Amino acid sequence: MISKNEVPSSRPIAIWLLIGVGMIVIQVILGGITRLTGSGLSITEWKPLLGAIPPLNDSDWQHAFDQYKQIGQFKKINSDFTLSEFKFIYFWEWLHRLWARLMGFVFAIPFIAFILKRQFRGSMLVYPMLIVFLLGGLQGAIGWIMVQSGLNEEDVHVNHIRLAVHFITALILLIYILWFALIILLPNEKRLKLPAQKKMLGWIIAVLTLQLIYGAFMAGLKAATMAPTWPTINGDWLPHGGQPESGFRFFTDNPFVVHFIHRGMAYLLVVLITWWWWKSRQIQFPKNWNQLRNAIPLLVIVQVVLGIITVLDSPVRYSLLVLGVCHQFVAMLLLLALVTMFYGTGGKRNN
């Protein structure tokens, strides 16, 4: 933990961390585009440094395409692909990986500069920054393991469980860096002491986290396209169809059950956030906190509406791409807003 006395009031460090938050949000969006365009398995090699350079001539492009032709995704669903179509999916996976490399530089170079300028203090350097780099490295490793698992002749897509793990570890990194920045920007004397509010927000964040996991399941199983209807699921109020999985897999591998749970938790979040917002109206928040409080219910309503439209338009590939990315982006904004409010209500300042 970082104690209050060890945290420097260093805005450059906080700005650096917030830039990292923004870059991770972009990276997650690029990951969503990669998934929705089916691009994730287009690059069959992992070259941490040289992989930043894409094929530069016709021979290199043909070699990359020939490697892609060896895996099941090409043989089973993309066997009619032209080289031009392959370049399209290659671009999104390449950009996703390139942005990850760029994030590494953006974190590492200022980190070294801050050390040389002695702007870090105490355990602020040792533990939190070590965890940031470990989480970043873990995220990259999980991403490659996820892709490598699909480079065979049987699978045509990355496993949805691995996809969810990759997504959630990215969000853990996102929130950890945000929290670190908030510690610098908002010391305890600027935070409100509202334990009841903080407890309610904690439960809401827990439900949202589960909802985000099921959102990754939805994407991995392509569950939206299997039931492009609302408010029912292909005419049924309860899930019906799919593989008759048993045990825990019934709740994670059946696309119609996943779809049902994802919708149900969305409605639950609307109720919980509305309840929290109504209860919080009795509290006189400072102006900035009041604006954030009012933004949260608006974000969840936009998110639900986007989710409904995304499902209804999911058979149209371009619509699914645009709406799906917007849906994912608003979900991250909602998470960031809730975590910021959660942090802000856990201080020692009496309202």
Q: How far is CA 344 from CA 86, 118, 208, 221, in A?
A: 47, 28, 18, 37
120's torsion region: left (phi>0), alpha (psi -120 to 50) or beta?
Answer: beta
| Preceding amide of 231 cis, omega within 30 | yes
On average, the pLDDT of the chain sits at: 86
Q: Comparing 46 with 6, which gets the higher pLDDT?
A: 46
Each residue of 107-135: pLDDT tens digit?
Answer: 889 888 888 877 776 555 657 777 888 88
Average pLDDT over residues 169-176: 93
Q: Where are the domains of the chain?
A: 1-185, 189-351
Cβ neighbours for 306, distance < 8 A, ≥ 6 positions apart: 323, 326, 327, 330
DSSP three-state, residue 233? strand
**Model pTM above 0.85:** yes
Measure the CA–CA gap between 87 and 164, rounded to whole angstroms: 26
Task: Break the chain down into helix, strand, coil percent, rounded to 5.
Answer: 70, 0, 25
Mean pLDDT of 225-238: 90
User: Which range, of 179-193, 284-298, 330-344, averages the lowest pLDDT?
Assistant: 179-193
pLDDT band at 281 (very low <50, low <70, confident <90, very high): confident
pLDDT exceeds 50 at position 90: yes
- Region 284-306: what's the mean pLDDT? 91
**Residues 300-344: tens digit of each pLDDT:** 999 999 999 999 999 988 889 999 999 999 999 999 999 999 998
Q: Give 272 or 316, the one with higher predicted confidence.
A: 272
Please tell me which residue, 123 or 40, carries the higher pLDDT value.
40
Please list the residues that pair with 192 across neighbouring strands.
349
